[in-house]
Amino acid sequence: MRRRTVLTAAGAAVAMLALRGAASAQETMKIGLILPMTGSFASTGRQIEAAAKLYMQQSGDTVAGKKIQLIVKDDTGVADVTKRLAQELIVNDKVGVIAGFGLTPLALAPAPLATQAKVPAVVMAAATATITEASPYIVRTSFTLPQATVPMADWASQNGIKKVVTLVSDYGPGIDAEKAFSGAFGAKGGQVESLRVPLANPDFSPFLQKVADAKPDALFVFVPSGVGAQFVERGLDKSGIKLIGPGDVTDDDILNGMGDVALGAITTQHYSAAHDSPENKAFVEAFKKANNGMRPNFMAVGGYDGMHLIYEGLKKTNGAGGEALINAMKGMSWMSPRGPVSIDPQTRDIIQNIYVRKVERVNGELYNVEFATIANVKDPVKAAKSN
Ligand code: VNL
């Protein structure tokens, strides 16, 4: 009798443990958000974390019966750290999604882990075209440099610009921007000279001297988000040359601090805090309110839309992760603060409007004011491959 009681109690304990395991696996969906929260690219981490938290605050933390738990990790901008954190999040924390990825090397490093573990990886920032090809579990809510750049080349050739010097950070997205610009601008008869600056701690002065000597009609610049202010300070005002490029150089996080030297810069990109829509007005207002007046930039909108994609994907799968979740994300479309967007089911990249913008002073603050729209732009690199 006594023996039987003990067995039953032990049996019940095991059953309860198993049940509890099953219940927590069922009830919680953990999202590992890996970002550069410190180091040279900390503004990207700060913007994306704020946007992800805002999305959860507005949309609640339960989706399809699952409690959403966001785990934020700082990779300090070092790819080996991103990879180790992704491994720990997948193996120890059993996250159902990894997300964030502030720069291209940080998105590429954990890609094989996403594939092996069948864990969707939502790239909210990094923008080299090839990233989505590194794993069938990668989906992207930021943009690609060629997507933002080809419209810049078209605008330049239509607006009397004949000779351009390109100046880009010497790594994936910079090389993408340089190639996309010189390809599209060259095809329309434009003349291009190309310069590359190191990504880490660039000294722009000698490059700007070369630009001044070349006397182009415009200087096309790609530097990653957060770096544009340094670039402008190091003497752009003295060169007197028109600044053009993808919108990273005049990103909303730093634009207002750049001063009058930024006035008149023409850039092409998918997001401006000044985008005129009810969705964006509400987004900017809520974001500023939750973050001591900080203005959201294109990184923030990548984070906000990334969370939306995860939430809507989970609704479609009824809370299931893995392959079902990545499949549910393909073809999804919605109205973002940036305008209408969708996930290309073939490439898992985002299809979106690219706007041509000019830096202007509006109510005392500098903004990228949109004045033309190129609708539903796909990443041209992958579009060319599929033709
Ligand atoms: C990248 C592309 C990073 C664009 C950025 O800012 C950016 C990247 C940190 O793919 O590394 O504005």
pLDDT tens string 256-309: 999 988 999 999 999 999 999 999 999 999 999 999 999 999 999 999 999 999
Ligand 1: centre distance to CA 34 (Å): 15
Helix axis angle for 298-317 and 42-59, nearest 10°, is 40
Per-residue confidence band for 240, with pLDDT thresholds at 50, 70 and 90 = confident
Does the pLDDT of residue 233 top 80, yes or no?
Answer: no
pLDDT in tens, 335-360: 999 999 999 999 999 999 999 999 99
104 lines ligand 1 (CB under 6 A): yes
Q: Is 102 in the pocket of ligand 1 (CB under 6 A)?
A: yes
Q: Are 92 and 73 in contact (CB under 8 A)?
A: no
Q: What is the pLDDT of residue 371?
A: 98
Which tokens sit at 117?
Answer: 């573990």
Least confident of 62-71, 235-244, 250-259, 318-327: 235-244
Helices (H), 136-258: 145-158, 172-187, 205-214, 228-233, 236-239, 255-258
Instruction: Determine the pLDDT at residue 155.
Output: 98
Question: How close is the Cα of 137 to the center of ligand 1, in Å?
Answer: 20
Query: Residue 70 to residues 51, 122, 166: CA-CA distances in angstroms?
Result: 12, 13, 40
Please give the pLDDT value at position 222: 97
**Which is higher by pLDDT, 204 or 33?**
33
28 CA from centroid of ligand 1 (Å): 31
pTM of the model: 0.93
- What number of other Cβ atoms are within 10 A of residue 312's Cβ? 16
Ligand 1 center from residue 247 Cα (angstroms): 11
Q: Dump pLDDT digits (tens) for 164-217.
A: 999 999 999 999 999 999 999 999 999 999 999 999 888 888 898 899 899 999
The rounded Å distance from CA 127 to ligand 1 centre is 6
In ligand 1, the atom with minimum distance to the C-alpha of 41 is: 9
Q: Are 127 and 142 in contact (CB under 8 A)?
A: yes
Residue 105 alpha carbon, nearest atom of ligand 1: 11
- 251 pLDDT above the threshold of 90: yes
Asked if the model's pLDDT at residue 239 lies above 80, the reply is: no
User: For ligand 1, atom 11, which residue shows the shortest CA distance?
Assistant: 103
Task: Give the residue, 327 or 200, on which the prediction is more confident.
Answer: 327
Q: Determine whether the shortest distance from the Cβ of 249 to ligand 1 is under 6 A.
A: no
Residue 149 Cβ inside 6 Å of ligand 1? The answer reads no
Query: Does the pLDDT of residue 141 top 50, yes or no?
Result: yes
Q: Is the pLDDT of residue 9 over 60?
A: no
Backbone dihedral region of 58: left (phi > 0), alpha (psi from -120 to 50 degrees) or beta? alpha
pLDDT on residue 69: 98
Share of the chain above pLDDT 90, in %: 84
Q: What is the average pLDDT value for the chain, to the nearest integer? A: 93
Cβ of 216 less than 6 Å from ligand 1: no
Compute, in angstroms, the gap from residue 26 CA to the centroid of ligand 1. Answer: 35
151 and 378 Cβ atoms separated by less than 8 Å: no
Residue-level pLDDT at 100? 98
Our mutation pick for probing the ligand 1 site, out of 76, 169, 221, 225, counting the most ligand atoms within 8 A of Cβ, is 225
The verdict on the CB of residue 248 being under 6 Å from ligand 1 is yes
In the predicted model, is pLDDT for residue 20 greater than 70? no
Residue nearest to atom 5 of ligand 1 (CA): 224
* Strand 97-100 to 28-35 pairing: parallel
pLDDT of residue 23 exceeding 60, the answer is: no
If one residue of 149, 248, 269 were mutated to test the ligand 1 pocket, choosing by the most ligand atoms within 8 A of its CB, it would be: 248
Q: What stretch of H or E contains 58?
A: helix 42-59
CA–centroid distance, 99 to ligand 1, in Å, is 15
> What is the model's pLDDT at position 1?
42
Percent with pLDDT over 70 in the chain = 91
Has residue 144 got a pLDDT over 80?
A: yes
User: Would you give the DSSP letter of residue 35?
Assistant: E
CA distance 170 to 104: 12
CA of 361 to the centre of ligand 1 (A): 26
Quote the pLDDT of residue 106: 98
Q: What's the confidence (pLDDT) of residue 111?
A: 98
Cα(157) to ligand 1 centroid in Å equals 26
- The Cα–Cα gap between 117 and 97 comes to 10
User: What pLDDT is recorded for position 26?
Assistant: 60
